[in-house]
Structure 1
Amino acid sequence: MNIEVAIIDDDPIILFLHKRILKTTGFHQHPQAFDKAQKALDFFNSLQGPQNTVVAFLDINMPGMNGWDLLDIIHKQDFEFPIYVVMVTSSVDTEDKIKAKTYSKVIHFTEKPLSAEDIEVLKQKLP
């Protein structure tokens, strides 16, 4: 199994910080960072075969295609591999958390920035 990690956020500081956290916690040594949801979608579409597994750390509020838009596409498109989504947001709106629970691919919801504790919780949720 090949695990790919995608960080999707329009804030370059968050992209940098989350890459560091994922590396220092040992979660993944080469996470991909995308400042636009469309770039992440293009990356997902470039992956071939069921041997891949994607863990996507997804921000909600982004210009253009936002996190909800990308999540809708992920749920509708028939990828050959599983995609697990971690919603990482600065939103404090409880409606966002409730909405995230309606998506089967969302396995965790947390506020920015990611923490080592978030990664430990996430490791327990992944197959």
Structure 2
Amino acid sequence: MNIDTVCIIDDDPICVYGTKILLNHNNFISANILIYEDGAEALINLTSQLDKGQPMPDIILLDLNMPVMNGWEFLDKFHELTLANKPRVFIVSSHFNKTEIEKGKSYSLVRDFISKPLIAKNLNDIIAMSKIAV
């Protein structure tokens, strides 16, 4: 699987900046990095892309705790979309518990939970998991 587009959905500008730097310095991204500050903004823009026949991102890095629409609310809505190519969703959060991990497993798009801050090893794991078919 080639990774052409990564979508970061996170309201923390420091985490977003760090993730962008990490992605760019590790030469894993050849094309696009989409950034949205909350689930609602992401859902509107990704749905618009879908309506225009544009492909979904290959990977979504999703924070859970955001204003307007949190990560769970985003997943509930995003999961309902009919998608030709299904992105791999990685929940990237500063804290999550066993209940959240179990809840995450109920979404077929969620591949794993990763603790913030994202580091190079996490990125390598994401790339490896993304090459495995869903």
Instruction: Give the TM-score normalised by the residue count of structure 1.
Output: 0.88
Query: Which stretches of structure 1, 4 residues or more, deviate above 4 A after TM superposition?
Result: 50-53
CA distance in 2, matches of 1:35, 1:51: 20
Task: Tell me which amino acid in the other structure corresponds to 2:37.
Answer: D
- Alpha carbons 1:10, 1:36 under 8 Å: kept: yes
User: What is the match of residue 3 of structure 1?
Assistant: 4
CA distance in 1, matches of 2:56, 2:68: 27
User: Is residue 43 from structure 1 mapped to residue 69 from structure 2 by the alignment?
Assistant: no
SS at match of 1:31: strand
The alpha-carbon deviation at position 51 of structure 1 amounts to 5.2
Unaligned runs of 5+ in 2: none
User: What is the match of residue 15 of structure 1?
Assistant: 16
User: What is the match of residue 99 of structure 1?
Assistant: 103
Provide closer, same or farther for how the CA distance between residues 52 and 74 of structure 1 changes in structure 2, counting only shifts above 3 A: closer
- Alpha carbons 2:3, 2:59 under 8 Å: kept: no
Provide closer, same or farther for how the CA distance between residues 92 and 52 of structure 1 changes in structure 2, counting only shifts above 3 A: closer
- For the aligned residue pairs, the C-alpha RMSD in angstroms reads 2.0
Query: Is 61-70 or 94-103 further displaced after alignment?
Result: 94-103
Count of paired positions: 127
Task: Tell me which amino acid in the other structure corresponds to 1:34.
Answer: Y
- % identical equivalent positions: 31
Instruction: Give the TM-score normalised by the residue count of structure 2.
Output: 0.84
Unaligned runs of 5+ in 1: none
